[in-house]
Structures are given as structure tokens and as C-alpha cells.
Amino acid sequence: MSRNLPTELQSGQAAVEAAITLPLAVFLILGTLQLFLLLQARALTEYAAFRAVRTGSVKHGDCEAMSHAAIAVLLPSFARTDSPAALGTAFRNHRDNQYRPGHDSGHSGSIVWIARERPLRAQIRPDEEESFDDPARYASVADVMRLEARLVFWYPLRIPFADWVLSRMFLAHMGLREYSSTDPLIPTHTAHWTGQVVPSLDAAIRQELLSRAERRDYVFPLQASYSMRMMTSARLRFFETQNCPLTPEGL
């Protein structure tokens, strides 16, 4: 039909068609890239949970050592680590478990939460050092002291435009926020993105996710758990709080 239109009208029609389809085309490219990076971060999160628990098991449950082990694994997903010097710089910048707004695409807040689900502080005995390897204290294999932890990685979405769109899609899918405005994928339509609240998502995670979204800090919480027998005795001084610092209690 367009071949029967004057040249000027054909040009105008092409411009309108491009304006309608360009956002979708851009999102398909950027969104695909962001999703692949998210899958990579997911794999790193699983390994980070293992490394954190493995380190804690040989360091008496020390949260600082556990956090450092997890962050060292996760650095390639959000910082430059293509050389030993860059890796060292990235670790020094993030060893306090905080994003740097000037270095991390404007992101801020904690990088990981580590919730220690076992052992509980009440289970750690004062004579733990002396009786740690005493088989008489264990009624069964299930009683052996284990370190169980759940790690939440606040993965920063860093691909422009895709981070904004995906963040709103995630919030709507989780039932945390409705989006009823111009559809960024189809500008001629109005989006109606809603969803049911995900029951498995902890209240603390929902609150933190919304708080970061309010300040346009686009992240996605990736979670992984790991458990293993402790190689050293748990020490009470490392369990003043059940969860590691920056992690809400009761997570």
C-alpha cells in the first residue's frame, strides 16, 4: 500500500513505524544482554554461598571472613577484574560490603546479606573449644555442628534502559508495585503490569527492594543457601548477632 503513496507520506509512515518499533528492538537487544549477565550472576551467587560457608567453617563462623569470601567471588559480576591490579583495587573498594556510587554505576547499599540459620547462638557451649571433636557429645550425625547460611546478593542491573524496564517488570511480577503508564516497549499503549505478592520473598527483602527502587537503584535479589559441617568450633564472639552485619535479624 505504501508504494501508492507520495514519497513524503511514505517517509512519514516509515518514521512513525520506526518510532513505534525502535523501543522494542532496543529492549530486545539490551534486555537479552542483561538477562545473560543475570544468569552469570546467579551461577556466581551459588558459588559465593559455598565459599562463604566453607570459609566460615574453618574460621569459627567469622562473619567478616565469610563476607570477604563471598564478595571476592561476586566481584566479576559488577566490577572490573580483568587483571590482578584491577581485582585488588575492586576488592579494596568493596571489602566493607558496600557499593560505591562513584564506581558502581550509581549503586549504593550493601552488596550481600548473609543470614546464618545454624548454629544458633544458644547452641554454642562455653566449652566448645574443648569438646568440639568429642564424639560422646553427639547423639547422632544430625547433632554434629553445621554451619548453614543463606546469602542474598543484591545484583546491580547495569544495562541502561533495560535496568529501568526490567526493574519495573520484576516489581510488578512480585506484586510489590503496579505499573500503569506508557508502555516503554510499545509507546502507543498503556502498560498494566501487576502481579501477586510472592509468598516466599521475605518481608525484609521486599522492603529493601522497594527502598532501592525509590532511589532508582535498580537491583535484583539473588539467593542461595549452603550447609556443611564446621571444621572448627563456633565461637560466641562471632555470634553476637545471629546474622552477619548489615543483614536484618529474622531474615
pLDDT in tens, 153-183: 999 998 888 888 888 888 888 888 887 777 7
* Cα 157 to Cα 205: distance, rounded to the nearest angstrom: 17
* Cα 46 to Cα 203: distance, rounded to the nearest angstrom: 22
Q: What secondary structure letter does DSSP report for 34? A: H
Supply 193's cell numbers.
Answer: 503490569
* Ranges of H-type helices in the chain: 7-58, 63-74, 84-94, 128-131, 162-173, 203-214
CB 86 within 8 A of CB 219: no
Residues 6+ apart with CB under 8 A from 21: none
* Cα 157 to Cα 164: distance, rounded to the nearest angstrom: 9
pLDDT in tens, 44-55: 999 999 999 999
Average pLDDT over residues 18-34: 78
CB 68 within 8 A of CB 56: no
pLDDT for position 95: 93
CB 198 within 8 A of CB 175: yes
- pLDDT band at residue 195 under the 50/70/90 scheme: confident
